Structure formats: C-alpha cells, structure tokens
Structure 1
Amino acid sequence: MAEKVSNTKWFGMALQALIVLADQDGLCPSGKMAEKLESQSAFLRKILTHLVKADLIQAQEGRYGGYSLVKKPEEITLAEVYDAMKAENSPTGFLGVESKECFPPPTREALFQLKDEMEGWIVDGLKQKTVADLLNK
C-alpha cells in the first residue's frame, strides 16, 4: 500500500483537483485535469490515488475513464482532504523537534505538545470549510 504523504503542496494540489472535478460534468481524465492545473500527470495521479483511497473521488479505468467526486462539494470538508494527504500529524519540518541533544526532555515534550495542539487548531479550522466554499459560484 502506498504511504500517505505529508506536504502542503500535495494538499493544495488535492484541493485544486477537487475544484476541477466539482466544476466537471461526468468523468474527467487525469491528463485533462493536469493540463488545467498546469501539473505533471504522474504527480497528479499520485494525489488522486490518495483521494480515491479516502473515498472522496472515484476512478473509472479505461479509454473513456476518468475521475469524479463521490460526494457533493458541500459534503467534502477540507479536513477530509487534509487527512487524505497526510502521513503524520503535521507537515515535515513543521515545528520539528527531532534533535535529542539540543533541548532537555521537558522542553522537547513541551514542543511536541505544542505541535499536537497546533495540528488540532488546523484540523478544527479545516472542518469548518468545504470544497463548495472554494468554488466560484
């Protein structure tokens, strides 16, 4: 199974892909979507794979295949998209506290707690928004 990613670029591209699909009638091939987003098809397909696994979009293979939303845009929260794109609690390097020698254990623990707290703030905010909020309608 492919590992989830933790990168804000992937999150942003996932949101843009969902917006394209929300404005699409029927299936949208990844090539057409990549062209609209000015992205590489292979990179976009990696992102779409995570959205399929999260049951946010569906894929139909074959010559006339493509992608479509599973739910209405107003039913897809940005927190769901964020969760589909992450592997750990926060983006790589986000308040990173990997150094064990730089800080004493209580300080490192305080930094880890702050990191978790900040992750909660982000997710709580993303739960309040949907893909529909991003559409120009």
Structure 2
Amino acid sequence: MAQLKRFGFGLQALIVLATNDELRTSSDIAEQIQCEPTALRKILAQLADAGIVEVRQGRSGGYELTRPPGAITLYEVYSSLHDEQPQWDRMLDTTGNHGFGQRANESFRKIMADINTQVTLVLGNYTVADLIRPD
C-alpha cells in the first residue's frame, strides 16, 4: 500500500479512536473507514510501534489512543507510517550520470530537501484533534 494511502487510512483510524471512549477492534474500524482489515492491522501495528495507539489483547480487546488527540501531531503519524521514499524522491531516478543529469540531480535534491522541510512544518502544525473539529 502506498505511503500516502497508509497515512490517510491511519489518520481516519485515529479519528475513529479519538471520537470513541471505548476500545475498537481493527475489524470495526476497517468497516467504518472502508479499508481492507489486514491492511489496517498493519497500519495499526505501525502506529502501536510508534506509541500512538495501544493494543489490548483478548476477548474484549481492541485499540485506543495512548494520548489525547491534541497531543498527536500529523507529522508523528506520517513519520510512523513512512517506510519508503517519498514520491518526489523518484525525480532522482530520471537523472543520469552525465554532466547534465548530475546538475539536474543537484537541483532536484535541493528542491526535495525544501519539500521535506515543508511537509515536516505543515504536518507538525496539525494534530488529530484538528481533524475532528476542522475550522
């Protein structure tokens, strides 16, 4: 699953958890956000590894947030689900080892660094709580 799709489903799962006071199963969340349950479990596992959600095992188990929604930034969620290079990094695949390609590669790297900085800044300014009550 592409990283931006994982990010979208992950955010939706967090919204479901943030708006419910009880534990929710992965199947329940998957049905609500219309995501394939196995894919969602992988996303929830990554969020659990990052300390964003907690998993309670057993018959009455499920998932819950580890912190209030206002304490979870979108950048934190993005970075926990980010396990491949961003799509814009693929621009480097178009440059060759010749002089022109090397100059283009250098320019592309500068642009990508700016993009990564902006993604970090923008996503760091929003929390899961902001998604629950959009302005």
Asked if TM exceeds 0.5, the reply is yes
The answer to whether the Cα contact below 8 Å between 1:95 and 1:115 also exists between their aligned partners in 2 is no
Equivalence for 2:93: 98
Please state if 1:75 is matched with 2:68.
no
Percent of aligned pairs with the same amino acid: 35
Query: How many Å separate the matches in 1 of 2:126 and 2:133?
Result: 14
Query: How many Å separate the matches in 1 of 2:25 and 2:63?
Result: 6
Match of 1:124 among 121, 124, 127: 121
**Per-residue CA shift, 1:37-66, capped at 9, x if unaligned?**
111110100100110011000001122110
Residue segments in structure 1 that go unaligned for 5+ positions in a row = none
Match of 2:45 among 14, 32, 49: 49
For residues 1-137 of structure 1, the aligned pairs below 5 Å read 7-88=3-84, 90-92=85-87, 94=89, 96-101=91-96, 103-136=100-133
Larger proportion of helix: 2
SS at match of 1:68: strand
Task: Flag the 1:6–1:37 CA change in 2: closer, same or farther, 3 A.
Answer: closer
Residue segments in structure 2 that go unaligned for 5+ positions in a row = none
TM-score (normalizing by structure 2) = 0.88
Q: How far off is 1:87 after superposition?
A: 2.1
Instruction: Give the AA of the match of 2:86.
Output: P
Q: How far off is 1:95 after superposition?
A: 5.2
Query: How many Å separate the matches in 1 of 2:41 and 2:73?
Result: 21
TM-score (normalizing by structure 1) = 0.87
**Per-residue CA shift, 1:93-133, capped at 9, x if unaligned?**
55521134274212202101211210110110111110000
Comparing 79-88 and 96-105, the one that deviates more:
96-105
The answer to whether the Cα contact below 8 Å between 1:6 and 1:92 also exists between their aligned partners in 2 is no
